[in-house]
Structure 1
Amino acid sequence: MNPVTTKPAARRGHLLPSGEPRPRYDLDRLLAVAVSVFTERGYDGTSIEHLAKASGLSKSSIYHHIESKEQLLRIALGRALDPLLATTREDGALTGRAVDRLRYLIRRDVQVLADRLPYVTLLLRVHGNTETERWAMEQRRGFDKVVAGLVQKAIDEGDIRPDVDAATTARLMFGLINSLIEWYRPSRDLTADVLSDRITAMIFDGIGTGAGRG
């Protein structure tokens, strides 16, 4: 008979309190857990102890990947901000009439939101209580200025009504997109491309038929 073989027992330090093996973590997996906890509890309401409990890691294992909780927040926010800000440097956002560049940015912003939904959700919920949060909010304000500038240029070019305020319009446009974090989940029936088409049409063409106008 062949001898019965068994898997070597896991070391006690590699087990969860339940006896299950601790999951192996890299920075991406730790970030995913942290973003979920930050979003649920708020950054200020989250401790390393909370992250350790949610991830199944020890505190020392977490500090193996990061130097501080705030560093983890900055990396997570960068996962949303980096692709968002990069859209303003793409050819579609730099060439052509301003209204077409706006359409391009709207489409790309929806795509970034869909692709980085947990990270964008966290970005939109920071309050400016820490240096990292203030940095993130400043980056967002820079994006808003780019959009407001394009709205004003589209007004000057005659493609947007002259009676609208550029800054307010920019905030309303992207406030609509940002509200997607509350309900949108990508699916085969409602992809980011389909959704961006619908949002762009609603912003620039409206939802009325004009039948009730005098």
Structure 2
Amino acid sequence: MATQTPARQRRRGHDPESVLSIAVGVFNERGYDGTSMEDLARALGVTKSAIYYHVPGKEQLLSRALDRALDGLFAMVADPRAGSGPAIDRLEYVVRQSVRILIDRLPYVTLLLRVRGNSATEQAALERRRDFDRFVSQLVKEAAAEGGIRADVDPALVTRLLFGAVNSITEWYQPARGASAEDLSDALLKMLFNGLRAQPSRPGDGTGPEN
């Protein structure tokens, strides 16, 4: 029996999930607009016709990838922990889970954060992102109204700064060397909810030596 070539082995082993995963890696490396079907075929080790067996075209791969990131966020929004209880607790839950989703679906979230609305698929994804931003902004307003956070900062600005910090993780996080999602969310919540400035110890409060 003839020995199979590596390309033929890869071709036989691909399924829709592996095609999507590899395609997302290429999109992130080259940019979606800069990626051709030839580039995808080369990365997969298959012919273009083999890709069409799994997906109608490049934009359908993009759509599936963006949904992978956004569906995680909206599943979190639908969770009762994001919809009931003190607003500050719900906001903390949303931030913590957003970090976890980002780490779990890092390539897909990275791609989502890079789209610019150059196609109907990208525009639809951006609108869903705006829906999520509005949800968080409303949560911030509720937390301020309840006294859970300070009320003298614009809720829309708080939302941008908060999720600007969360989303920046995609630019530097390396799964092989990085902290866990729990470690990252703990550090983020401490800095953004409590501030970086160390609080002076008080006599008898257990935070430092008594005077």
Q: Flag whether TM exceeds 0.5 (same fold).
A: yes
Q: Distance in 2 between matches of 1:186 and 1:92?
A: 27
Moved over 4 A (4+): none
Aligned to 2:170: 181
Aligned to 2:205: none
Any conservation in 2 of the 1:10–1:21 contact (CA below 8 Å)?
A: no
Q: What's the CA shift for 1:185?
A: 2.6
Q: Distance in 1 between matches of 2:119 and 2:78?
A: 28
Whether 2:15 is the aligned partner of 1:22: answer no
Aligned to 1:51: 40
Q: Distance in 2 between matches of 1:63 and 1:193?
A: 39
Task: Please provide the CA RMSD for this pair.
Answer: 1.7
Question: One-letter code of the match for 1:169?
Answer: V
In 2 relative to 1, CA 45–160 (structure 1 residues): closer, same or farther, beyond 3 Å?
same
Q: Distance in 2 between matches of 1:35 and 1:95?
A: 35
Any conservation in 2 of the 1:95–1:101 contact (CA below 8 Å)?
A: yes
Whether 2:20 is the aligned partner of 1:31: answer yes
Aligned to 2:67: 78
Aligned to 1:194: 183
Residue in structure 2 matching 1:60, options 49, 58, 61: 49
Q: How does 1:123-138 map to 2 (within 5 A)?
A: 123-138=112-127
Q: Distance in 2 between matches of 1:161 and 1:191?
A: 29
Whether 2:106 is the aligned partner of 1:117: answer yes
Residue in structure 2 matching 1:150, options 134, 139, 163: 139
Deviations 1:24-76 (A, max 9, x none): 20011111111011111111111111100111011111000001110010001
Q: Distance in 2 between matches of 1:171 and 1:81?
A: 17
Give the structure with higher Rg (CA).
1
* TM-score w.r.t. length of structure 1: 0.88
Aligned to 1:89: 78
Q: What's the CA shift for 1:209?
A: 1.6
Q: Distance in 1 between matches of 2:114 and 2:17?
A: 21
Any conservation in 2 of the 1:98–1:150 contact (CA below 8 Å)?
A: yes
Task: Structure 2: state its 5+ residue gaps.
Answer: 201-211
Q: What's the CA shift for 1:189?
A: 7.0
How many residues of Structure 1 are paired with residues of Structure 2 in the alignment? Answer: 199
Identity in percent: 51
In 2 relative to 1, CA 57–187 (structure 1 residues): closer, same or farther, beyond 3 Å?
closer
* TM-score w.r.t. length of structure 2: 0.89
Aligned to 1:160: 149
Whether 2:31 is the aligned partner of 1:42: answer yes
Q: Distance in 2 between matches of 1:143 and 1:66?
A: 28
Q: Distance in 2 between matches of 1:42 and 1:76?
A: 14
Deviations 1:58-114 (A, max 9, x none): 111100000111001000111111011111111110111111100000010000001
Deviations 1:122-163 (A, max 9, x none): 111111101111111111000000000000111111111121
Q: Distance in 1 between matches of 2:127 and 2:117?
A: 9
Aligned to 2:2: 9
Aligned to 2:159: 170
